[in-house]
Homo-oligomer: A and B are copies of this chain.
Amino acid sequence: MENLLSDRIKATPPSFIRSILKTAVNPDIISFAGGLPNPISFPQEELLESMERIVKCFGSKCFQYSLTAGLPELRQYVADRYNKKFALNLTIDNILITTGSQQALDLISKVLLNKGDGVVVEKPSYLGAIQAFSQYQPEFHPVELTENGLNLKQLEETLKCKNLKFMYAIPDFQNPTGLSYSAENRECVYELLKDRGIVLIEDDPYGDLRFEGERLPYIGAGRLHNSIVLGTFSKTVTPGMRTGFIICQNTELLRNISIAKEASDLHSNIFSQYLIWDYLTHNDYETHVAKITSLYKKQAQAMMDAMDKYFPPTVKYTVPKGGMFLWVTLPDGVSALDLFPKAKEKKVVFVPGDPFYIGTKNVNAMRLNYTNADCETIEEGIRRLGELFKDL
């Protein structure tokens, strides 16, 4: 068996989250582990109406093979929305629909990475991204993430490395930490990147879920030739439909990503693309998003209140201004991974810090998700964790 497998797959770690998802199906367990939206946020009624409408209006087109880049109407919608919101100048030629944002991470790596090429990531970074990139056996260059964004000195030093292909960042409500880059930090990162030619991937699944402060501009979009922004409808409409998108300034690069996509799955589900486009154009999407945001704000607050109540003062946490996660830091030397089985016994789960790092073990931190449980359940889950932490 070992002889059959590629070096690539041997270098790809299985996802800790995906392995937890199976255990989290147990309804007794309170899960702060996944990045699942609250199911009450899915506009089921409206989506069902849209289904009936698109089958009536477009008939067999919803069910037939379709174009690799995606439904033109949906790509136009994305271009228009981002042009309006961020004063960009996008056309549908800058947009490609993907099977969730995860596929974007795979396709971009596929198109850019030879074995050993350099990839700059935040430290810690999103584990799904680390997993996607690992398939192409790059050299990872983690740059420390601070309260205000990237450690600029480290970034400057890192950018001197040869063979860098891209930098991957989540400037808003980062996964796993919940931290956001300040306006000043964004500007400094831009200045460091602007003459380098490497691709900047700004992954933005949570940007719309802001419950405090004003939206800040992207680092690269609209001004870096090799700027990529990733978006998704997974957090605001439905993740089950696996509909994400790539916004890419460089159309030649996007053409290559499109070739990789046709080789990888021909095209994404076209029914879902009609569906989401119809839903977006027949409903007040911004109001819907505002409702979700207000829900998550309450849930985040409930988690923080409970942590203040049940956690000892030696346990610290980040205060997110949006998104789905916060990051809990335990005292030095305490391994969150070691605590995991004990937490599972108490029927509460989280993601220990390790899989968000490249090769670091027994990290004294964990990611908590607050979007997929009501406030009462959140308090109970934190109470259970608090029992574990009481002697820390």
Contact = CB atoms under 8 A, between A and B. Distances in A.
A64 B21 CA distance: 12
A51 interface: yes
Q: How many copies does the complex hold?
A: 2
A111 B42 contact: no
Contact of A6 (B9, B21, B51, B112): B112
A313 interface: no
Contacts of A135: 110, 260, 263-264
B55 A39 contact: no
Interface stretch (A269-277, A283-291, A299-307): A269-277
Contacts of A112: 4-6
B64 A5 contact: no
Nearest to A1: B252
B242 A265 contact: yes
A52 B67 CA distance: 27
A12 B52 contact: no
A341 interface: no
B48 A55 contact: yes
Contact of A39 (B22, B47, B63, B199): B63
Interface residues of A, number: 81
Nearest to A256: B9
A213 B100 CA distance: 42
B36 A262 contact: no
Given A21-B67, A110-B135, A240-B66, A259 B102 contact: no
A47 B238 CA distance: 20
Interface in A292-313: none
Nearest to A13: B259
Given A106-B265, A269-B272, A239 B4 contact: no
A162 to B, nearest CB: 12
A253 B2 CA distance: 10
B6 A266 contact: no
Contacts of A362: none
21 contacts: A4-B197, A4-B198, A6-B111, A6-B113, A8-B110, A12-B260, A14-B262, A18-B262, A42-B60, A42-B63, A44-B55, A47-B63, A62-B240, A63-B239, A99-B99, A103-B265, A131-B263, A135-B260, A241-B271, A242-B267, A264-B264
Given A62-B240, A66-B240, A242-B268, 11 more contacts: A5-B111, A12-B260, A42-B63, A44-B55, A48-B51, A48-B52, A99-B99, A99-B268, A102-B265, A238-B271, A242-B267
Interface of A: 1, 4-9, 12, 14-15, 18, 21-22, 34-37, 39-40, 42, 44, 47-48, 51-52, 55, 59-60, 62-68, 98-100, 102-103, 106, 110-114, 117, 128, 131-132, 134-136, 165, 197-199, 226, 234, 238-242, 250, 252-253, 256, 259-260, 262-272
